[in-house]
């Protein structure tokens, strides 16, 4: 067998292994995250936040289940925060986020590949969430009981089911919404 054929066989084998690892990670991540898929924040949501959010420079922010860190990259470009942290449970989303940070030369964001429940929410001024409705229901009381008095929770699209937001930011068509929450007594 010529050398080229061996190289192609080896390359095919490596590609198959990488695809199997990727698919295994997706299944394990979906199980561990209660079947929440990785979905990046939509550009329209980012634009709405860019146009309508007014956040305090010098603050800290954490993104719970940050995916590839798209929202954090937006916050880096828009606000001069002192700390940027994102939690992601999926290897492939985390690695892709790390790649995007490297490609865009952003070193200030810390993407942590671990469960959001390990985050110490008392360290942050802002918490960003873009999660499915059933996950919002699951984390609602945990977040409420884990934040400081002045912490603002920025929720993209799917609100907490049992709490009224402090403020709702919407686009002109009222289709896209960003919900802001504060700690309630």
| Segment 55-97, tens digit of pLDDT | 998 999 999 989 999 999 999 989 989 999 999 988 888 999 9
What are the distances in angstroms from CA 53 to CA 75, 141, 167? 10, 24, 11
Q: Do 20 and 110 share a domain, yes or no?
A: no
pLDDT of res. 34: 61
Of 70, 90, 91, give the one whose Cα is nearest residue 30: 90
* Residues 87 and 163 both lie in one domain: yes
**Per-residue confidence (pLDDT) for residue 147, from 0 to 100:** 96
According to the model, what pLDDT value does residue 29 have? 64
pLDDT band at 35 (very low <50, low <70, confident <90, very high): low
Residue 179 is predicted with a pLDDT of 96
Residue 68 lies in a domain: yes
Residue 98: pLDDT band by 50, 70, 90 thresholds? very high
Q: Give pLDDT, residue 4.
A: 84
Average pLDDT, integer, range 8-30 = 82
Flag whether 80 is in a domain. Answer: yes
Mean pLDDT of the region 163-181: 87
| Residues 3 and 26 occupy one common structural domain | yes
How does strand 83-88 pair with strand 60-64? Answer: parallel
Say if residues 156 and 129 touch (Cβ distance below 8 Å).
yes
What is the total count of domains within the chain?
Answer: 2
pTM over 0.85: no
Q: Does any domain span residue 37? A: no
For 62, the 3-state DSSP assignment is: strand
For residue 132, the enclosing domain spans 43-181
Question: Across residues 154-176, what is the average pLDDT?
Answer: 89
In this predicted model, what pLDDT tens digit does every residue of 108-163 receive, in sequence order? 999 999 888 889 999 999 999 999 898 899 899 999 999 999 999 999 999 999 99
Same domain, 144 and 173: yes
* Residue at 14 is within a domain: yes
26 and 64 inside one domain: no
For position 151, what pLDDT does the model report?
96
User: If pLDDT is split at 50, 70 and 90, which confidence band does 1 have?
Assistant: low
Query: Would you state the pLDDT for residue 5?
Result: 87
User: Residue 130's domain is classified under what CATH number?
Assistant: 3.40.50.150
62 in the same domain as 8: no
């Amino acid at each position: 067998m010529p050398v080229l054929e061996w190289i192609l066989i080896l390359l095919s084998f490596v590609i198959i292994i990488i695809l199997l690892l990727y698919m295994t990670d997706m299944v394990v991540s979906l199980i561990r995250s209660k079947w929440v898929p990785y979905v990046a924040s939509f550009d329209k949501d980012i634009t709405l936040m860019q146009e309508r959010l007014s956040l305090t420079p010098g603050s800290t922010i954490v993104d719970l289940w940050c995916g590839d860190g798209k929202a954090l990259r937006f916050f880096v470009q828009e606000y001069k925060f002192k700390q940027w942290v994102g939690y992601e449970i999926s290897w492939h989303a985390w690695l892709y986020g790390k790649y995007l940070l490297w490609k865009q030369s952003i070193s200030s964001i810390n993407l942590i590949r671990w469960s959001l429940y390990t985050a110490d929410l008392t360290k942050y001024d802002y918490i960003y969430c873009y999660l499915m409705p059933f996950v919002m229901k699951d984390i609602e009381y945990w977040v409420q009981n884990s934040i400081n008095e002045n912490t603002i929770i920025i929720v993209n699209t799917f609100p907490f089911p049992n709490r009224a937001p402090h403020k709702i930011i919407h686009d002109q068509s009222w289709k896209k919404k960003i919900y802001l929450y504060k700690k309630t007594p």
